[in-house]
Amino acid sequence: MKVTTPRLTQHVLTGRTTGEPVLFVHGNVSSSAFWRDSLAALPEGYRPLAVDLRGFGETDPEPVDATRGLRDYSDDVLELIEALDLDGVHLVGWSLGGGVVLQALRDRPAAVRSLTLVNPISPYGFGGTEGHDGHLTHPDGAGSGAGAANQDFVARLKAGDMSDESPTSPRNVLRSSYVKNPAVPDEDFYLRAMLTTRVGEAHYPGDPATSDAWPHVAPGKLGVLNAIAPTHFRLDDLHEITPKPPILWIRGADDVIVSDTSLFDLAHLGTLGAVPGSPGTPAQPMVSQTRAVLERYGRYREAVIDDCGHSPHIEHPQTFLRLLAAHLREA
């Protein structure tokens, strides 16, 4: 269905129309379609919904003001909750969507009954930080932002490439990075969802900027990768909110995207020699940063799924639904 609010028109997948609302928020370079099977399998007593974020799927491609961090996305989600009169919503966010729902929780905790994070980005953004406290490697956020994107992948995404002729084709990125084991059921279905991503300076990856510091890229002011740069998105004070709904953190043990040694982090690629000129900048400890923030928050549980990459709901759907259903019941 389509829901029009003062901000934009959002596309929402729905299931049954009664029960406690559970709103699923997808990750980067994907859409609500990645939640298709999770919506269908959600137990009785819950009302499943999954939204396309702006610039993905069938939601309006309004530009993303990256200087607001993820608030363009989270404000859209909070307005959708109001428009649908969802009282006490359970939020589920995967990857980028994990950051979006954390921001929504930070800004309006009373609207959230529970939170589930699925391989979420770090509360200190993506790239450009060190240590469990997420301190900036350089004041300008060097190492993060749109300039960190693989340009061949961006070009193939824009062209709607469905081939497997290159390691950087969307199909091969799905096989190598979204999941641990490349035999993805309904691969073309998920690939087409990836290809709904709007490509450009206002969306993915955003407007690039340069830095005098290695690796000579820094966050710009527009688009999704700049929105998750640590100069724009930081959640140092999540532990200060009231009330504190329970948080479940589900992650795949073998994730190569959100990791303490992420293959998408230029600093880590520099230590591997894949990006030349590295001065020895350490990798961003993304998982450890998330754990540090949630430890301060206090009311959370971490569940690790073995033999699983970045997408537990796709790779191990039964285990994912069991963990989620138990969390919803407890909340």
Residue in this structure with the two tokens 């820094």, named with its chain if needed: 218
Q: How far apart are CA 169 and CA 155, in angstroms?
A: 9
Closest CA to 288 of 134, 175, 169, 162: 134
State the DSSP code for 282: P
Closest CA to 218 of 283, 122, 128: 128
Q: Which residues contact 282 (CB under 8 A, 6 or more apart)?
A: 130, 267, 271
| pLDDT one-digit tens code per residue, 207-253 | 999 999 999 999 999 999 999 999 999 999 999 999 999 999 999 99
Closest CA to 209 of 145, 160, 120: 145
Query: Which helix (H) or strand (E) segment is 237 a member of?
Result: none
State the DSSP code for 322: H
Please state whether the peptide bond connecting residue 243 to the residue before it is cis, i.e. omega within 30 degrees of 0. yes
- pLDDT tens, residue order, the chain (331 aa): 999 999 999 999 999 999 999 999 999 999 999 999 999 999 999 999 999 999 999 999 999 999 999 999 999 999 999 999 999 999 999 999 999 999 999 999 999 999 999 999 999 999 999 999 999 999 999 999 999 999 999 999 999 999 999 999 999 999 999 999 998 899 999 999 999 999 999 999 999 999 999 999 999 999 999 999 999 999 999 999 999 999 999 999 999 999 999 999 999 999 999 999 999 999 999 999 999 999 999 999 999 999 999 999 999 999 999 999 999 999 9
DSSP for 292-322, written as a single string: HHHHHH--EEEEEESS--S-HHHHSHHHHHH
Give the distance, in angstroms, between the CA of residue 288 and the centroid of all CA atoms in the same chain. Answer: 17
Closest CA to 78 of 7, 2, 1: 7
Give the E-state strand segments of the chain in sequence order: 2-4, 9-14, 20-25, 46-51, 89-94, 112-118, 129-130, 135-136, 199-200, 204-205, 209-210, 217-218, 247-252, 300-305
CATH number listed for the domain at residues 2-148+183-330: 3.40.50.1820
Q: Which residues contact 80 (CB under 8 A, 6 or more apart)?
A: 3, 5, 10, 12, 23, 51
Give counts: helices (H), strands (E), the chain. Answer: 11, 14
For residues 100 and 24, the answer to whether their CB atoms sit within 8 Å is no
320 burial (CB, 10 Å; 0-12 / 13-18 / 19+) is buried
Residue 11: strand pairing partners: 2
For residues 70 and 223, the answer to whether their CB atoms sit within 8 Å is no
For the chain, the structural domain boundaries read 2-148+183-330
